Every structure is written in C-alpha cells, then in structure tokens.
Structure 1
Amino acid sequence: MERLLFVEDSALVLKVMRRLVSEASEFEADFAETYAQAEALIQQNGQQYFSAVVDLNLPDAPKGEIVDLTLKSKVPTLVLTATFDEKKRDSLFQKGIVDYVVKENRYSYGYAMKLIKRLQRNHTIKVLVVDDSLVARKQSANLLKKYQFQVVESDGAKTAIKMLIEQPDIKLVITDYNMPDIDGFELVKLIRGKYDKQDLTIIGLSGEGNASLSAKFIKNGANDFLRKPFNQEEFYCRVMHNIESLEAIEIIKDSANRDYLTHLYNRQYFYHITNRQIKYCQEEAIEYSLAVIEIDDFKEFNNIHSEYGDSVLIQFAKQLDKKFGKFITARLNSSQLVAFVWGMSLDDCENQMNEFRAQIKKLSIETDTGEKHLTVSVGLSHSSQMSLRRMLEACGELIRRAQNAGKDLVLYD
C-alpha cells in the first residue's frame, strides 16, 4: 500500500485530509504539524513515501523550507498554500514540485487527493517522447517523470516507429513537428495507420509560429497540440486530459468484455485473448495450462436456493481472480469458470488448482435453510502446442471423469 506524508499546522485541514485518506483505501498516511516532525518522519520512512502534501507556512519553517526537505529526500511534492503568489509558484515549480494548490475551499483538498491518485496510476503508463533536440526532449521527459510516468525517448521518427513495435504498451506519444528524417505530421500519419485514437494518444509539439500547425496535426490524427515554449501546468493539463480520455474509452471497452455478474472476462473475449496468448506462448516456447472449473451440483443448488446462486458465482469468481488474477480468468457459462495460465509447470499448476479447490470448499454460503458448502471439479490441460479448442475438449472430458469419481477433484491430462 502506498504511503503518503502530510505536513500541515491547521487542525481543520488535517482533519479534512485524514478523512480523505481514510476514504482512499489504497493509501496510508503519516501526518506532521511542524517541520521538525516531518523531518523525523522522513528520516524514519523517507524511502517509503510515494508523495508528500505540504503547507508552505509552518510554525518552525515559515518560508517554505519544508519543500526543500521533501524534494531533497526525493519525495514528489504537492504544495498546499493559503495564498496565490505567481512568483512564489514559479519558483517552486523550478525547484521541482509536482503542483501548487491554493486552499480556497474543500474542493482544493479533494483536488490534491485526486492528483495523488493520478500519480499512482501514472506509474503504469508508458509515454514516448520524440524530438531530435536533446534539450527539448529532456525537458518533456523530465516533466513526465516528475508526474511518475514511465518515459522512453526517441531522437527521430524512424526510431519512434521501431520503439512502438517493440513496446506495444506505450499509451501516449508526444512528438515535435520539425525533425530531420520524417516530420511530425508524417509520423502521426504513420502511427495512425496502425493505432486508432482509442488505443494510443498523440500530442504534437512545435515552436514554429505558423497558426495552422495545430489544425494540421489534429487533421493528420493527433489528439492534441501544444505550442512551445509551454509552462509545466499547461503541459500537465494537456497530458492528463488526453490520458483520462483514453482511460475512459478503455473502461467502456473493458466493460463490454466483462461478464455482468462476476466481472470476469466473458466467454467471447476469453476466446479472443487466450488464442492470442497461446500464439505468443507457442512462438516463445512457453508452456501453458487451461483449467476449467465446474461448480459441483450447482444446477440443483440453484433450483432450491435460486436467490443465492448469483452470490455463489460472485464469491467463487472473486476467489479465482484473487488466485489467478495475473493470468486470464473468465466465466464460460452458468456453472463454469476458467483460468488460462502460462510459464508454470504442470505440477505447480495442479498444486495451485488444488489450493483453490480447498479454498472453495471452505467458503460458507448462508441460505434461508442454513449454512451450505459447495465444491468444484477441475479439468486441467497442459501443453506447449495444443489449441484452445482441443484443450477445452480435454478439460470437459476430465471434468466428467472427476464428477463420476465423486466430484471435488482436480484431474489433469
């Protein structure tokens, strides 16, 4: 769990921030009211702090000395202050703070927490910066790193195309217009030949004075345009607007691929991504396993306790996702769940499945006639070459054998 540091001498503000942290279950926090308390906490936990939110005016540090302390300790820092001072703000941004928030109302504190959550999500987002100017490229890259993005750099369009192919997890491209090999317009057109706007965001940059550049970039497929020189706040707002738009599209797409009840992948999408993963495993000589999990006697249970059937599926799905969430999990039909795993030996996979089977057996299901327990039978198919269709057929036969043998078993081929 991420750990935060709040430094604030106002009891009211601390009370608000404590409540916001308690509502954000992904964070823990330490609170300090003075520079001395903050210094002691940093000495004790400095490397553990994901971010710091600090007040500029403290009883024992009235001139913003706390910012120097947190930045020196390499803690990304947000400043909360009671007054807006443009010179002071510019000075703090030059020092390296993440943002400057004026304590005008309760929304300001909510904004600070929203920004912290954004920084946490940025850890998983990769951005490619394309610019032939080392100075300009480093300026953009350093700003992105300050906001906790993963950053890769390219000094030209040809290298950028190669990096996109080699690193398909890149979500944002920031490209300059004027480059020697291929200009920014052509690069955008090349990228859009393979990546749709809902898959990859592009922001164009230029220091030239031509007023039509922004329109040309966007008409060629860019999502946005920013004129150089830009300030940190403008750059961050443009980047975040585009990233959040991309995330909103991904949420909609992901919802369409999920089972409405269990929130595991649905059958259709499971086939799609598993076939793709099998192809990759075969190319890289990685062994893989398919486990189909049948809930024993679920039809009979559901006929008698129909109002509890959904609860059973939800509980079982949560356990499956907890156990195999880093792989591919899905709901195949009304009584079957499935997990596709790779890079694991048959023995290890069997052990993991038996652990899962034992966990399910312990689950208590409260019904109107008392506590009930259900079991699962698992068919496990392991291969380095077999197709998904053949593995599903093999698992179906293994489940039939398990149920004929008394159920509550894991059988493998």
Structure 2
Amino acid sequence: MNALTTALGHDGLRKDARGILVIEDSRTFALALRQFLEAETGLPVTTCASLKDLSELIVAAPGAYAIAVVDLNLPDAPRGEALDWTVAHGIPTVVFTATFDLATRGRIMEREVIDYVLKDSEFALGNLVGTVKRALDNRHTRILVVDDTRTTRKVLARMLAIQQYVVVEASSGAEALALLDANPDLQLVVSDYYMPDMDGFELARSIRRRHPKVRLIGISSSTDRKTSAGFLKAGAHDFVSRPFVLEELQCRIASNVETLTQLKQLQELAARDYLTGLFNRRHFFEQGPPLIGTAQKAGFPVSIALLDIDHFKQLNDRYGHDGGDKVLSSVAGNLSRLAEHETRLLARVGGEEFAILFAGADLATACRLAEGIRAEIAREPLLLGGAELSLTVSIGVAEIGVSESLDASLGRADRALYTAKQEGRNRVCAAGQEA
C-alpha cells in the first residue's frame, strides 16, 4: 500500500482465497451444497464423507479452508468427532444436523462453532448457505465492544470473534469515542451500561450526535426493565440483557449488521448513475472535496479532468436514444476499466460529460493519464446499427490549487475542454494552455 492510499484511508481488503470444506456423507446432498456454495460465494468447495477423509485433507493442506460445514453424525464419527477435528485445527465451523435436542445443542455450542442449522425442512439448504455467507461477510465488519470490566469484555469479544467479526475493545466511554473518531470503518458498537466515566446512555447520545451512521446495541445485567428503554431513547438500536442466551445475541447482532448492509446498498444505489453504473454528479460533489482535502493535507497534488464524447448530439440524432445510451454505456465501461482506481474518483456529471479526480497527480501526470484514456477509447470501436462506430473524446485537465474549490477547478477544466473541442476534438488540453 503506497503513502497516498494510506493517507486516503483505503484498507485494501482482499477476498479470502481459501476454500470451503464440506463434510457430509450424503453424496446427493454434498453435491447440491457444493454447487450452491460455489455459486453464492465464488469460493472452491471440497467435499468429503468421513472422518478419515477429513483428517487426510486437513493434514495434507493445513490452512487451506476459510470455513467448514460439518454433518454432526457420520458413519465413522457418530458423536461429533468430525466437529472436534475442524475446531481443533482452527477452522471456523457451521454444524448441520438432523438430530437435535438440548444435550446436542450444548455439545455443539460448547465447541465454539459459528452456528448450527437443522435439517428440518425444505429451506434447510438455503439456511445453511446463508449462514456460511454471513460468516464470510462478517470478516469485513468491525465491531467495538465497550465494557470497563476486562473479563466481561473479553468474553463478549470472544463470542463475536467466533462469529468471524473483527473486534476492537474499549474500557471506557471516552476511549470508545476516541476509537470511533479515529476509525470510520467501525460500524457497530456493543456497550455495557455501567462505566466509570460515562454511563451507556450518555455514550449512546454522544455516538448518535458524532457518528449517526454507527449502530449501537446496549447491554446490561440490571434487573430494572427501564434500562432497556433508557438505552433506546438515548439512541441505541437494540438491547440485550445479561446473562446472554448466545443464539439471541448472535441473532440481534446479525440483524443489525444486515440492516447496515441494506443501508449501504441503498446509499450505493443513490450514488450511482442509473444508465452507466458510474457515480453520479451528486456523489462526485459530496466525495470530491474531502478526497482533495485529505490528499493535499498529506502533501499530494490533485488534478481534475472533464471528458466529453465528441459529436454526441449527432450520434444521438442518427441512432436514436437507444443508440445514444449504448454510446454512453460503452464509454463509461471503458472509463471504468481505465480510470477507476483507489486514488481516483470517476463520475458521470452531465449528459455526455464525465469527470475524474486524480489524487496524487500533478498537471503533467494527469494529462499523461488522460491522454492514455483518450487513446484507448479511440481504439475501441462500438458495434452500432450493424456497423463499427469509432468513438472519440475530448478532455480538459486542471491541477487543483490549495484552497481552490472543486467548482472553480472544474470550471478551469471545462475551459480547457472547450479549447480541445475548438482545436479539432479527440485531444487533451490543460488549463493554462487555452487559446
């Protein structure tokens, strides 16, 4: 990760390349589960039908599996010995079982598994795959646990870690707020009520005021039922009483994480242009200024490019709106391939206009990057109306001055774009070089 990426706060999360291990003695069910899991997760699935095969697989490829799905009762492992193997070798495990009673539940949960799913209906396969997907997704969710008692805090943190969440701990309300301020990727807080510096109600109000997108679950061993109401009125989204029923805690946290995911998806949809899938003008003007400020504060230059499809009106008139949409989608697809990068912000900002912020690029570098984009688009013909159509773009580029507004710099890039059109189109012009 380079210095600019670090300054901009990208975490560089990579997809887990390890596979999924399924231990199931029913060949038909194992095949269906493998196909379903591979389709839903994109990860390779290895199946085996016995404890003997399982032990050989794990010994042959230690560390090869991100998660295991274990049938509790196998012909050569009738008492959950396969589960003991996966847990002992540090493989996060989901149990799938047709035999279930309180004793079985206790035997499963004491082994610190992610969850168990019952073979009790036609929905069992879907439930199992959903549980595996959630566990894999949980690895990208950071949860802050706040409790001034170390032992209690560690117990809760361990419960969450078993569910594959990334856990951060705080021993006071003040420490929790400091961690939230410094770590914008913290999405969920689980907080005790009793703390020496501020109680859970005060912490909830502070989080609601300073970090309104963060969800909060209050916890308490108090027998006063007004405690839960106090948490909710102070801004918490949920409440759990101690001592925990483990499955209840899991479900409540999972429900809040799912809500966060849905909100993120809605925000993503609101930020995207419906036709091209690129970010829209609103998102560009919301995210552009903080990106510029962060990069410049760290000592990096930032430039902006404004791109326009040449002769788009004539293309639209000739081929109709459907043809015009295909032109826009084609250019957007090329831009996405060529210009989307963790230090760049790309958006459709007008009918046939696109803007790119290049964080870390001075004027000369941005012009070179823009020239590469222009040349690549010109080399990619579009099949339209049964014929190959050559598309070209004109681009204006400006380096953004310190304390210069995004509007002002975009205006200078627009004037440079006008110059590029006046000089014959299909070219890049830099601000300061206008005729």
TM-score (norm 1): 0.91
Q: Confirm whether residue 308 of structure 1 aligns to residue 326 of structure 2.
A: no
Identity, % of aligned pairs? 33
Aligned 1:260-409 pairs, distance under 5 A? 260-306=274-320, 307-323=322-338, 324-326=340-342, 327-344=344-361, 349-350=366-367, 352-383=369-400, 385=402, 386-409=404-427
Range with greater deviation from structure 2 (200-209 or 187-196): 187-196
1:144 Cα shift?
Answer: 1.8
Range with greater deviation from structure 2 (375-384 or 117-126): 375-384
SS of residue matched to 2:123: helix
**Counterpart AA for 2:357:** F
Residues 178-201 of structure 1 deviation map (CA, whole Å, 9 limit, x = unaligned) = 1112111111122222233xx111
Residues 1:349 and 1:93: Cα distance change in structure 2 (over 3 Å): farther
**Counterpart AA for 1:188:** A
Q: Confirm whether residue 243 of structure 1 aligns to residue 261 of structure 2.
A: no
SS of residue matched to 1:83: coil
1:244 Cα shift?
Answer: 1.5
Residues 1:77 and 1:401: Cα distance change in structure 2 (over 3 Å): same
Range with greater deviation from structure 2 (252-261 or 72-81): 252-261
Conserved? CA contact 2:34–2:46, under 8 Å: no
1:343 Cα shift?
Answer: 3.3
1:227 Cα shift?
Answer: 0.4
C-alpha distance in 1 between matches for 2:221 and 2:153: 13
C-alpha distance in 2 between matches for 1:26 and 1:110: 16
Q: Which residue does 1:120 correspond to in 2?
A: 136
Q: Confirm whether residue 189 of structure 1 aligns to residue 205 of structure 2.
A: yes
1:403 Cα shift?
Answer: 3.5
Of 72, 76, 83, the match for 1:67: 83
Range with greater deviation from structure 2 (364-373 or 94-103): 364-373
**Counterpart AA for 1:375:** T
C-alpha distance in 2 between matches for 1:319 and 1:121: 30
Report the aligned-residue RMSD: 2.4
Q: Confirm whether residue 91 of structure 1 aligns to residue 107 of structure 2.
A: yes
C-alpha distance in 2 between matches for 1:26 and 1:379: 41
Residues 1:97 and 1:343: Cα distance change in structure 2 (over 3 Å): farther
Conserved? CA contact 1:8–1:54, under 8 Å: yes
C-alpha distance in 2 between matches for 1:86 and 1:349: 65
Conserved? CA contact 1:172–1:200, under 8 Å: yes
1:332 Cα shift?
Answer: 0.8
1:24 Cα shift?
Answer: 1.8
Residues 1:18 and 1:321: Cα distance change in structure 2 (over 3 Å): same
Conserved? CA contact 1:188–1:220, under 8 Å: yes
Conserved? CA contact 1:188–1:221, under 8 Å: yes
1:169 Cα shift?
Answer: 2.0
**Structure 2 gaps, min length 5:** 1-14
Query: How many equivalent pairs are there?
Result: 411
**Counterpart AA for 1:10:** S
**Counterpart AA for 2:271:** N
